[in-house]
Chains A and B, each alone.
Chain A
Amino acid sequence: MAARPGTQAKLFIGRLLLVLGVLACGPAFATDARKPLTTGDVRWLNRITYGIDSATVERYRLLGRPRFLEEQLRPDRLAVPADVQEAIAGLGVARKPAEQLLAEAQAENQRIQALPDDDARQLARQAQNQAANLAAAEAARRHLLRALWSPAQVQEQMVWFWLNHFNVFQGKGTLRWTVADYEERAIRPHALGRFQDLVMATLTHPAMLVYLDNAQSAKGRINENHARELLELHTLGVDGGYTQQDVQELARVLTGAGVNAGPAPRLKPEWLAGYRRSGCFEYNPARHDFGDKIVLGTPIPGEGFKEVERVVDLLAAQPATARFVSRKLGLFWLGQEPPRALVAAMAGTFQRTRGDIPAVLRVLFDSGPFKASLGSAFKDPMHFVASALRLAYDGKRPLNMTPVLGWLNALGEPLYGHLTPDGYPLAAQAWSSPGQMAKRFEIARSIGGGNAGLFNGDDGKSTGNTGFPRLATRLYYEALEATLSAPTRLALDRASSQQEWNTFLLSSPDFMAH
């Protein structure tokens, strides 16, 4: 510690207060004298989770690294804390599936259309618009509550990863009504499952079908958008060896897959057998092009929905898909281009296990490049904000996510907010612009300097929990302090208040990386 003489006394008092604070309110984990975690352990845990907190440290100590990782990869028995679960259950989108929300929205739109008075119509439209905004915001709140406070931290990060891989944008068409369901039913159940199931679930979800326009595509009126992105962004990758002809053929395969939240259409008898409906996903043979197709050299006889199942099998089994998805997983977890050998090893496991995501992740997490990357990858906004809150509110779990939505917006990475189907960039350099850095410092100050409204009720009113968080906890001294660089320690020593100390810690280059 290189404190200057003039500040010595102030620092001493500051430190004393910090230590007293820890003793008074820091029950973080058991007090028995145990070996402190190594820097390697801390960095590993910090990356495997959305950021280190006492509960994960405790669990890690109990299980050891291999068993901790296994539990993260098969998290069936890890439950979201009861208070968080209760907050989630209170959200409107948690109570209604997409088909119900869409059907209600359609009924409301019809009612509005029929209103005789212009002003009344406009008012009703505004109300409807606000309701749609709320539905999307609730989906984001639920995502954040789990990301922050669920013990299944690898799963939560993978839900984000796949949401981004199979990106949809809430601003298009009816998507504000369907993004919650998309995450809940198409992504989450398969986030640590089989890749092929993810492809099928996202491909047939109304959110994706609207987002990539397949809902409008029909025999003779083909829209190639979904087919192209399915090849380019979801499975094979842009250099995956498909041709424009494959795109066109695949687009014909996908005709008939669409969205219907209303009554089933009246169909000719010969179409009835091939008609399918699940929620508001609809497969309508009357819109399907029944001609035979050839995709990637494989004949796909025209036989309706079975064609979709065949192409999903086909695409998921391609070596190019295994490589493309493995590389992207590597990029996400390493924060930089993964070495070829690692991608090859992951892709090999991907193919051998037919796309078993935990098996592929195990190869990644056990690899040398992953260990070597720890502590050096620059966090994206989601990880920056989440890790700051997990550290600042260790064990206290604020449930008002409105400020968090604002921070993610300000940092340019709101959930369901990326316009184009490529998703947010995963490479670190996308997130270090001057505007981004200045905003991160200001958000660090908002988090470190007060409660930022995180404990307010739904009405936005304070529930009395004010003041600022304590970041200098036992967790900090036992786990984090040793990982900090000299310039960061120097800055912390120059802090003139606890709030400022918090702000500097959360603004430090060490904290920006994981």
Chain B
Amino acid sequence: MRRRNFLLGLGLGALAVRGVRLYAAPAADAKCLVVFLRGGYDGASLLVPHSSPFYYEARPSLAIAKPDPANAAAAIRLDAAWALHPALKDSLLPLWERGQAAFVPFAGTHDLSRSHFETQDSMEGGEPLDGPRDYGSGFLNRLAEVLGNANPIAFTDGLPLAMKGSLTVPNVSLKQFGKAVFDDRQMAILADMYHGSPLETSVVEGLQLRKDVAKDFEQEQNEASRDAISTKGFEREARRMGRMLRERFGLGFIDVGGWDTHVNQAQALDANLQGLGRGLAACAEELGPAWDRTVVVVLSEFGRTFRENGTRGTDHGHGNVIWLLGGALKGRRIAGEQVAVGRETLFQDRDFPVLNEYRGLLAGLFHRIYGLGGAQLDRVFPRAREQDLGLL
């Protein structure tokens, strides 16, 4: 009997397991995806300060060429001061032109350790830097807790700190997965063993998630064999992610590595940005109509040194560019506090300063997306000063 119930659950998902948080999507649900670029990406190559002579001086071999329609390797002019890396011409630029993309330069955390892991960690935690920390609590988990019906998920192998906390958040990596390991009969037996146990929800959710992912994989295989176009790398992952967000998740987290470009930066960064841009555009496409209810935040633990180093790369810096994408965004602008880019405005004579603290910026964003008030935002980002970019 129990077994039948479970099989029914596997077949009819939402109907049979209505009580499970996973499927309780509210009608007017806003969606949010946080993309964490681990390693500290070079924002000065993404968003090129083309009106600053100092940029070209500080980066003799790494500067992206000034906007020039005749030069495919040149930056693409966005406004009088900023231009976009050419690797994003076919992916992000169309979103920008539709007003569905915005960039916030001089953004990040005031954490100054310049250590990847410490800064990633303090960022994912989202707690104030000057106070005791709860190492086990991330800002997205607290957001999900405050929202109550966010349907959070981490598209990662392990649960990232951002999603850790008092709420149980499922995680599944979409990088590689194959066919289901267990068939329905085996899954039913596994679930039956946990019937009535405190772990039952976790087990049923975990098996269901794994089954869905495998099903998606099989469909993907079928489609690929039909039209012979198969996507690879992050784009494939992002398409899968877009479908899962569209179907039943509301708050997602994914991380992308490979941004720590100390040596021969240009080539690696070009390939990474291209993959990331394609992936995000593909994710938007898969989201379909839900794209209009979705906001994507792309951020990184810190920026890189403004000057290039001796190995045609850049070292750990400070301020960086946060990207915001979304179907309903009032974008097509460079948002937040800014200063002219020059030697005199560098932080410690080496990095972009942080003028837009990420906690305040995200608090402002969550206010707009979810209508959260002061006490709720203070739970997500304790003592943060909310900053409204007016993008939604």
Say yes or no: B186 contacts A410, CB within 8 Å.
no
1/0 contact string of A478-514 vs chain B (CB within 8 Å): 0000000001101100110000100110011100100
Q: Is B298 an interface residue when CB atoms closer than 8 A count as contact?
A: no
Q: Is B54 an interface residue when CB atoms closer than 8 A count as contact?
A: no
Name which of A339-347, A436-444, A458-466 contacts chain B. A436-444
A498 CB, nearest partner CB in chain B, Å: 14
Say yes or no: B121 contacts A438, CB within 8 Å.
no
Q: Is B192 an interface residue when CB atoms closer than 8 A count as contact?
A: yes
Say yes or no: A437 contacts B193, CB within 8 Å.
no
Say yes or no: A434 contacts B168, CB within 8 Å.
yes
Bound form: Cα–Cα A125–B120 in Å:
24
Bound form: Cα–Cα A222–B381 in Å:
29
B240 CB, nearest partner CB in chain A, Å: 15
Contacting B at CB under 8 A, from A392-438, are 409-410, 412, 419-420, 422, 425, 430, 432-438
Bound form: Cα–Cα A438–B194 in Å:
13
Say yes or no: B193 contacts A509, CB within 8 Å.
yes
| Closest residue on chain B to residue A494 by CB atoms | B189
- Known contacts A422-B135, A491-B189, A435 near B195 by CB under 8 Å: no
Contacting A at CB under 8 A, from B195-222, are 195, 197, 199, 201-203, 205-207, 209-210
Q: Is A118 an interface residue when CB atoms closer than 8 A count as contact?
A: yes
Say yes or no: A122 contacts B195, CB within 8 Å.
no
1/0 contact string of B124-149 vs chain A (CB within 8 Å): 00000000100110000000000000
Main secondary structure of the interface of A (DSSP, over half): helix
Say yes or no: A122 contacts B264, CB within 8 Å.
yes
Contact of A434 among B116, B117, B206 (CB under 8 A): B206
Bound form: Cα–Cα A439–B170 in Å:
12
Say yes or no: A438 contacts B264, CB within 8 Å.
no
Say yes or no: B189 contacts A504, CB within 8 Å.
yes
Bound form: Cα–Cα A129–B161 in Å:
26
Bound form: Cα–Cα A503–B205 in Å:
19
Contact of A441 among B116, B161, B190, B209 (CB under 8 A): B190
Say yes or no: A238 contacts B189, CB within 8 Å.
no
Residues of A within 8 A of B169 (CB): 433
Contacting B at CB under 8 A, from A1-49, are none
Interface centre among B120, B186, B311, by most A CB within 10 Å? Answer: B186
Contacting A at CB under 8 A, from B360-384, are none
Q: Is B157 an interface residue when CB atoms closer than 8 A count as contact?
A: yes
Contact of A436 among B135, B206, B264 (CB under 8 A): B206
Interface centre among B116, B132, B169, B194, by most A CB within 10 Å? Answer: B194
Say yes or no: A491 contacts B192, CB within 8 Å.
yes
Q: Is B181 an interface residue when CB atoms closer than 8 A count as contact?
A: yes
Bound form: Cα–Cα A8–B192 in Å:
20
| Closest residue on chain B to residue A503 by CB atoms | B186
Q: Is B74 an interface residue when CB atoms closer than 8 A count as contact?
A: no
Contact of A435 among B120, B161, B172 (CB under 8 A): B172
B162 CB, nearest partner CB in chain A, Å: 13
Residues of A within 8 A of B132 (CB): 238
Bound form: Cα–Cα A122–B312 in Å:
12
Say yes or no: B202 contacts A500, CB within 8 Å.
no
Say yes or no: B202 contacts A437, CB within 8 Å.
yes
Contact of B157 among A171, A410, A445, A508 (CB under 8 A): A410
- Known contacts A434-B209, A445-B182, A419 near B197 by CB under 8 Å: no
1/0 contact string of B272-316 vs chain A (CB within 8 Å): 000000000000000000000000000000000000000110000
Residues of A within 8 A of B182 (CB): 441, 445
- Known contacts A122-B263, A420-B121, A445-B181, A438 near B193 by CB under 8 Å: no
- Known contacts A118-B311, A420-B121, A491-B189, A509 near B194 by CB under 8 Å: yes
Contact of A437 among B154, B159, B203 (CB under 8 A): B203
- Known contacts A433-B170, A434-B168, A508 near B206 by CB under 8 Å: no
Contact of B209 among A122, A409, A438 (CB under 8 A): A438
Say yes or no: B190 contacts A434, CB within 8 Å.
no
Say yes or no: B311 contacts A433, CB within 8 Å.
no
Contacting B at CB under 8 A, from A365-381, are 378
Can you give 14 contacting A-B residue pairs, CB < 8 Å? Answer: A122-B264, A238-B132, A419-B121, A434-B171, A435-B159, A436-B202, A437-B206, A441-B182, A441-B206, A445-B181, A445-B182, A490-B192, A507-B193, A509-B199
Question: With contacts A118-B263, A437-B199, A508-B193 known, what are 4 further pairs, Cβ within 8 A?
Answer: A238-B132, A419-B117, A433-B206, A438-B172
- Which residues of A line the B interface, CB within 8 A? 118, 121-122, 125, 169, 171-172, 238, 378, 409-410, 412, 419-420, 422, 425, 430, 432-439, 441-442, 445, 487-488, 490-491, 494-495, 500, 503-504, 507-509, 512
List of 3 A-B pairs having minimum Cβ-Cβ separation, nearest first:
A438-B206, A434-B206, A434-B205
